[in-house]
Amino acid sequence: MADSLFLPLAAKSSNAHSSLFFRNCPSPSRLLPPKSSSLLLHGGEKKISVLGLSLYSRVSLPHRAAPIRALDSDVPHPLHKGMITALLGNLSLLSYFAKKRETEAVVVQTLGVISTFVVISQLAIGEAMPLPQYVATSVVVAAGLILNFLNHYGMLNSTIWQFWEDFITVGGLSVLPQIMWSTFVPYIPNSILPGSIAFVVAVASVTLSHSGKLSEKGPKFIGAISGWTATLLFMWMPVSQMWTNFLNPDNIKGLSAISMLLAMLGNGLLIPRALFIRDLMWFTGSLWATLFYGYGNIVCMYLLKTISLEFFLAATVGLIAWIGMALWRDAAVYRYNSPLRSLKELVFGS
């Protein structure tokens, strides 16, 4: 009976290299019979081959001696990749608002860069992020903060700033389609083709912009790409979250209702300013994040009975009231009869 207990493990372990049995046993070969031995099964003598298992046990001993990080056991994709995407989005928007001299928005994006970098540093300390990637990320973050600070106060050479804008344009445009594609893996093939194609297009666009071969509006369009790609990166975050909630409804139980409420409030506070200065990109990103990231997850939490009806109604009434007040006050400041005129100017211009 004791010998028969080894059969399921022997049959499984030749292919399952992550078997808990072989990771934790100090010497699996000691638990196995010799290669020429036979095992007694149900009263009859049958010989089984344990050669493959014995070879595997001996060859993989050095591998089993290595520590197994807890983060590697149940996380299908490295955590730092999502954080780097958020970091790139913050840096791109930081550059966009620094160029427009929007001090309040610059402060918000700077805090976003710093807080995200703190999380990445924790992942690096926990060995969940390779050291070379962490060093490269640290250099980009430091350079981005310094360059944006200098440019915000008019202390930076225009050539250096142009190089930085080209860098974040290529980076953002390359990452965006790859992130969109990877959201739906494994329902679609895992591929780096979307990001590769976008990288080639981005490099070609930046090159043509500097060569003067584009139309008069071409350079302005290329210059706006980094801001729009950053906005789309953040707009995609709630889409990815809702897709995850759809596939794994229990995942919504891990979300904090207060965090989602703060996300809704934080992005909602930016809507009036974006509307007032007629910044379509800023308005679109703020409104999208308010509705689909903050409020959208609150709706999901209510449907799955993880928050109360009172909490849901308070969030709903507060959101409608805030957006309505923003439209009404903007129309009053510009002396318009209808808030719709403000939205028309925002989309189509004055």
**Lowest mean pLDDT, pick from 33-37, 89-93, 211-215:** 33-37
Averaged pLDDT of the chain: 78
State the distance between the two ends of the chain, measured CA to CA, in whole angstroms: 86
- 222, 214 in Cβ contact below 8 A? yes
The 3 state secondary structure assigned to 102-132 is CHHHHHHHHHHHHHHHHHHHHHHHCCCCCHH
pLDDT value at 34 more than 50: no
Rounded to an integer, the average pLDDT of 279-293 is 92
Rounded to an integer, the average pLDDT of 156-182 is 90
Q: How far is CA 270 from CA 186, 190, 237, 263, 297, in A?
A: 36, 36, 18, 11, 19
pLDDT value at 35 more than 70: no
Rounded to an integer, the average pLDDT of 217-236 is 81
Q: Is the peptide bond before 28 cis (omega within 30 degrees of 0)?
A: no
Give dist(CA 83, CA 93) in Å, integer.
Answer: 15
Give dist(CA 328, CA 91) in Å, integer.
Answer: 32
Residue 73 neighbours by CB under 8 Å, 6+ apart = none
- 194, 177 in Cβ contact below 8 A? yes
Give dist(CA 206, CA 185) in Å, integer.
Answer: 30
Q: Count of residues for the chain?
A: 350
pLDDT value at 200 more than 70: yes
Give dist(CA 164, CA 150) in Å, integer.
Answer: 12
> Which of helix, strand or coil describes residue 156?
coil
28 versus 222: the higher-pLDDT residue is: 222
Residue 248: which pLDDT band, with cuts at 50, 70 and 90?
confident
Residue 4: which pLDDT band, with cuts at 50, 70 and 90?
very low
Residue 32: which pLDDT band, with cuts at 50, 70 and 90?
very low
pLDDT of residue 56: 39
pLDDT value at 197 more than 90: yes
Rounded to an integer, the average pLDDT of 301-314 is 93
Residue type for position 336: Y
Query: Which ranges of the chain does DSSP label H, i.e. alpha helix?
Result: 7-13, 20-24, 51-59, 61-65, 71-74, 79-100, 103-125, 131-152, 158-183, 193-211, 218-247, 257-268, 271-276, 280-288, 296-303, 309-333, 339-348
Nearest to 229 by CA among 151, 177, 300, 293: 177
**Lowest mean pLDDT, pick from 43-47, 145-149, 317-321:** 43-47
pLDDT value at 265 more than 80: yes
pLDDT value at 154 more than 70: yes
pLDDT of residue 6: 38
Give dist(CA 43, CA 15) in Å, integer.
Answer: 29
Tens of pLDDT along 86-139?
788 888 889 988 888 888 889 988 998 999 899 999 989 988 888 998 999 999
330 versus 66: the higher-pLDDT residue is: 330
**Lowest mean pLDDT, pick from 59-68, 294-303, 327-336:** 59-68
> What are the sequence ranges of the domains in the chain?
76-247, 248-349
Residue 143: which pLDDT band, with cuts at 50, 70 and 90?
very high
pLDDT of residue 224: 79
Half-sphere exposure of 203 (CA within 13 A, CB side): 5
- The percent of residues above 70 in pLDDT, for the chain, comes to 76
Q: Which of 31-45, 160-174, 308-322 has the highest mean pLDDT?
A: 308-322
Region for 247 from its dihedrals, namely left if φ exceeds 0, alpha if ψ lies in -120 to 50, beta otherwise: alpha
Residue type for position 254: G
